[in-house]
Homo-oligomer: A and B are copies of this chain.
Amino acid sequence: MSIDHSNLKPEELQPLDMKRERERCSFDMDGMTCIFAGNRTSRDRSRWLMALLENHPEKAFDKSKRPFQGRTERFMVGQKIALEYFQLRNRYGLPKEDRDLLRLYLDEYITLQVHESMGHPTVQNQASEQQWKEWGPKIASGQYLVSYAQTEMAHGSALAGLRTTATFCPESDEWEIHTPEPSAGKLWIGGSGSTATHAIVMAKLIIENKDYGMHPFFVALRDPDSHKLLPGRYAIDMGPKKGAPSMDNGYITFDHVRIPRNTLLSRFQTVDSKGKYEVQNQQGKLLIRGTMTLVRVGLCEIAAHHAARATLIAVRYALIRRQGTPLPGQSKLERQIIDYPGVQQRLFTAIASSYALTFAARYMRSIYNELQSELQSKGNSPLLGMVHGYTSVLKPVMTTESYNVVWRCRKSMGGLGFSAASGLTDLENSQPDANLTYEGDNNMLLGGPASNFLVKELNACLKNGNRPGRIELAYLSKRPRSGERFEGSNADLLDPQRQLEIVGHRAARLVYALHELRNGGSGKQGEESTKPYLDARLAARASRAHGAYFILFAFNHTLAALQEYARNGQSSEKIGVNIKTEHLKALENVRNLYALEVCIMDDLSEYTQDGYLDEKTIHSIERHIATIMQTIRPDALGLVEAADLSDWYLAAPLASSDGRAYDRMIEFMKSEPINQSGHSGAGRDQDGVILGFRQTIGRLTHGEVTPWNETEAKRREAERQKERTSKL
Q: Which chain B residue lies CB-closest to A334?
A: B161
B236 near A90 with CB under 8 A, answer no
**Contact partner, A701, options B45, B145, B242, B674, Cβ 8 Å:** B145
Chain B's closest residue to A674 (CB) is B237
Report the nearest B residue to A713, measured CB to CB: B93
A710, CB-defined interface residue at 8 Å = yes
Shortest CB–CB separation between residue A608 and chain B, in angstroms? 4
| Cβ distance A70 to chain B, nearest Cβ, rounded Å | 2
List residues of chain B with CB within 8 A of the CB of A727. Answer: 38-39, 42, 362, 366, 575
- A128-150: which residues lie under 8 A (CB-CB) from chain B? 140-145
**Nearest Cβ on chain B to A619's Cβ, whole angstroms:** 9
Contacts of A494 in B (CB 8 A): none
- Chain A contact residues, majority secondary structure: helix
Q: How far is the CA of A86 from the CA of B709 in the complex (A)?
A: 12
Q: Does A605 contact B (CB under 8 A)?
A: yes
Q: How many copies does the complex hold?
A: 2
A342 within 8 A of B: yes
Q: Are A719 and B41 in contact (CB under 8 A)?
A: yes
Contact A237 B669 (CB under 8 A): yes
A185 — which chain B residues lie within 8 A by C-beta?
Answer: 666
Q: A83-B699, A227-B693 are contacts. A662–B90 as well, Cβ < 8 Å?
A: no
Would you call A537 an interface residue if the criterion is a C-beta within 8 Å of the partner chain's C-beta atoms? Answer: yes
Chain B residues with CB below 8 A from A197, complex form: 701
B623 to A527, Cβ gap below 8 A?
Answer: yes
**Contact segment of A378-386, A440-448, A463-471:** A440-448
- A287 an interface residue at 8 Å Cβ cutoff? no
A362 touches B141 (CB 8 A): no
A662 to chain B, nearest CB (A): 4
Q: Are A575 and B716 in contact (CB under 8 A)?
A: no
* B420–A696 touching, CB < 8 Å: no
Pair A674/B726 contact, Cβ less than 8 Å: no
Residues of B contacting A239 in the complex (Cβ-Cβ under 8 angstroms): 67-68, 419-421, 668-669, 671-672
A709 to B98, CA, bound (A): 14
Select from chain B the residue with minimum beta-carbon distance to A717: B95
Asked if B83 and A705 sit within 8 Å, CB to CB, the answer is yes
B residues less than 8 Å from A362 (CB atoms) = 727-728
Bound CA–CA A72/B692 (angstroms) = 12
Q: B626 to A720, Cβ gap below 8 A? A: no
From A118-126, A276-284, A409-417, A641-649, give the one contacting chain B: A409-417
Query: Measured between C-beta atoms, what is the minimum distance from A690 to chain B in Å?
Result: 4
Q: Is A689 an interface residue (CB 8 A)?
A: yes
Option from B227, B534, B666, B717 in Cβ contact (under 8 Å) with A689:
B227
Contact between B93 and A712 (Cβ–Cβ < 8 Å)? yes
Q: Which of B42, B72, B527 contacts A674 (CB under 8 A)?
A: B72
The reply to whether A532 and B341 contact each other, CB–CB distance below 8 Å, is yes
Asked if A213 CB lies within 8 Å of chain B CBs, one says: no
Residue of B nearest to A562 (CB): B728
A604 interface residue per 8 A CB criterion: yes
Bound-state CA distance A443–B708 (Å) is: 42
Contact pick for A11, options B183, B195, B229, B359, CB 8 Å:
B183
In chain B, what residue has the closest Cβ to A653?
B239
A681 within 8 A of B: yes
- Chain B neighbourhood of A609, CB < 8 A: 604, 608, 613, 615, 618
List CB contacts (< 8 Å) of A503-541 with chain B. Answer: 527, 529-530, 532-537, 540
Known contacts A415-B151, A703-B143; A697/B93 CB under 8 A: no
Q: Which chain B positions have C-beta within 8 A of A83?
A: 696-697, 699-700, 705
Measured in the bound complex, the distance between the Cα atoms of B16 and A724 in whole Å is 40
Q: Smallest distance from the beta carbon of A32 to chain B beta carbons, Å?
A: 13
Tell me the A678-728 residues at the B interface (CB within 8 Å): 681, 683-684, 687-694, 696-703, 705-717, 719-720, 722-728
- Contact among B79, B153, B610 with A692 in the assembled complex (CB-CB below 8 Å): B79
Residue interface bits A30-62, CB-to-B below 8 A is 1, else 0:
000001001101100100000000000000000
Q: Name A154's contact: one of B94, B248, B346, B662 (CB within 8 Å).
A: B662
Instruction: Say whether B625 contacts A533, CB under 8 Å.
Output: yes
Report if A155-B323 is in contact (Cβ < 8 Å); known contacts: A362-B727, A700-B143, A701-B197.
yes
Q: Is the CB of A709 within 8 A of B195?
A: no
Q: What residues on B are CB-neighbors of A699 within 8 Å?
A: 83
Quote the shortest CB–CB distance from A352 to chain B (angstroms): 15
Q: Which residues between 612 and 629 of chain A lie within 8 Å of chain B, taking CB atoms?
A: 613, 615, 618, 622-623, 625-627, 629
**CB atoms of B724 and A683 under 8 A apart:** no
Given contacts A140-B708, A362-B727, contact A238 B672 (CB under 8 A): yes
**7 shortest interchain CB distances as A-B pairs:** A70-B70, A93-B713, A93-B712, A533-B626, A530-B626, A604-B605, A605-B605
10 cross-chain CB contacts under 8 A:
A93-B716, A95-B716, A156-B323, A242-B418, A342-B443, A345-B536, A346-B443, A415-B438, A418-B433, A609-B615
With A83-B699, A161-B323, A344-B533 given, can you name 5 additional A-B contacts, CB distance below 8 Å?
A10-B154, A10-B183, A39-B728, A70-B71, A141-B703
